Amino acid sequence: MSLHIYDTSTRATREFVPVEAGRASIYLCGATVQAPPHIGHIRSGVNFDVLRRWLTRSGYDVTFCRNVTDIDDKIIRVSAAENVPWFVVAERNQRAFTWAYDTLGCLPPTVEPRATGHVPEMITLMERLIASGHAYASGGDVYFDVPSYADRYGSLSNQKPENMRAAADTDDESCKRDPRDFALWKGEKPGEPTWPTPWGPGRPGWHLECSAMATKYLGPTFDIHGGGIDLIFPHHENEIAQSQAAGDGFARYWMHNGMLKIGAEKMSKSLGNSLLIPEMVQQVRPVELRYYLAAPHYRSSIEYSEEALLEAAAAYQRIEGFVTRAAEVIHDVDADAPLPQAFADALDDDLGTPQALAVVHEVVREGNVALARGDKEAVARLLAETQNMLDVLGLDPRSPQWRGAGSDLTPVVDALVAVALEQRKAARERKDYAASDAIRDQLAAAGITVEDTPHGARWELSH
């Protein structure tokens, strides 16, 4: 079976056939950096990181472009409220997003363009649209002429143009020929940043930014465009319109992840329920939070609850426990071991992570049985399968990302614990069990759990 993707534009699951054989190009709508990220924002990053890893494992050379919208109405409002320059707001929050992506194990994008660095490409795109009759300048603004594209506008969101609301993206609607026309460029306003254009100074519209950046780095036609389901309209609809009206093929597949909700409400800062990443990784470890976000199907919505988060953490710890115990017996893991077919089939079926993780847990159960009966050959095979599956999902507890996570003092702790365990071993050999238990209790009080195994005492930081 080959990879099949649910394509929002056709509302059907289609076989993935890339523009260029052996290569895959992905554009993911990244952060609008007016605030630090909550887990709803980072879910998209985790979902598309799994897609990227699976494409790479499937033999594709992947170019992954994730943009940063660093100028926007919201950023300007925060800037005014805090009385700081707009770029201070943008830089501060972009760093917060980068930290969050890194903390949850997302691979760095191949390229991460900022909107403000691509104004020349935006000007070129507007010139093409004006020349083809699909855009017009008015009062220092530039607008996309929706009626000029009415036969195709609304195809992604499955709407008819005559039923659409006004774009409502400018203070003066009288500048527009049609209320549905959307702003490609916004003319200069007092106190706002500006860039020069043939139509006067101003700043880019949100939709224009992504079309210019996607085609610059991935070409006029590329494979996959991703983002949250809330971006289908108007953002992605407008991207398609302006890009294809200018003559670009643009994205061949459209993938959208579901929202993360609390009490059936989409997460937002205004609701007061923004669960920021630094706060979340105080409740569970980053790898456990990644598991929580990756486990549901990417197109499903997630109803957040602390109980569900802790259940996900416990599920991951069961996997981790097998890997840790098996690694004490098997020291060399076959990184080239084939993946279980059921796991590959699950991911090839529109990135079915729930079914893929079900395979992981089944292999872990078999591995625990093999450990209990001392079948080293079976343990070696099942450990290799488990770690290779977890590597695809970005969840391998023995990867450098997670093995040293949370502390740069691991070698120091390891040495100190080794001394304590030697003292405990000596106490047990002389049958001084009170001293042995006291050492174990002291380690537990320091957040270190000791487990006696047939291969000797093993320690780990308490979860």
| pLDDT score for 272 | 47
Select the CATH number that applies to the domain covering 4-257 from these four: 3.40.50.1580, 1.10.3720.10, 3.40.50.620, 3.30.1360.120. 3.40.50.620
Token pair in block for residue 53: 């890893």
Note the pLDDT tens digit of each residue in 101-127: 999 999 999 999 999 999 999 999 999
Token pair in block for residue 7: 């394509």
C-alpha dihedral (155, 157, 160, 162), degrees to nearest 10? -130
| pLDDT score for 274 | 58
Q: Cβ of 310: how many Cβ atoms within 10 Å?
A: 14
The mean pLDDT of the chain is 91
Strands 250-257 and 221-228: parallel
Please list the residue range(s) of the chain that carry CATH number 3.40.50.620. Answer: 4-257
Instruction: Tell me the whole-structure pTM to 2 decimals.
Output: 0.87
| pLDDT score for 271 | 47
Q: Which residue has the higher pLDDT, 58 or 334?
A: 58
| pLDDT score for 417 | 67
Residues 6+ apart with CB under 8 A from 318: 361, 364
Residue 5 forms beta bridges with which residues?
A: 14
Mean per-residue pLDDT, 388-406: 88
DSSP tag of 173 = G
State the burial class of residue 133 (Cβ atoms within 10 Å of its Cβ: 0-12, 13-18, 19+).
Answer: exposed
| Coil, strand or helix at 27 | strand
| pLDDT score for 209 | 96
Amino acid at 295: A
In the predicted model, is pLDDT for residue 461 greater than 70?
Answer: no
Nearest C-alpha neighbor of 356 from the set 331, 306, 319 = 319
The 10 Å CB-count burial string (b at 16+, else e) for 190-203 is: eebbebebebeebb
In the predicted model, is pLDDT for residue 455 greater than 80?
Answer: no
In the predicted model, is pLDDT for residue 374 greater than 80?
Answer: yes
In the predicted model, is pLDDT for residue 147 greater than 60?
Answer: yes
Note the pLDDT tens digit of each residue in 258-300: 999 887 555 554 444 558 999 999 999 999 999 999 999 999 9
| pLDDT score for 454 | 64
Token pair in block for residue 168: 């409502």
| CA distance linking residue 142 with residue 175, whole number of Å | 9
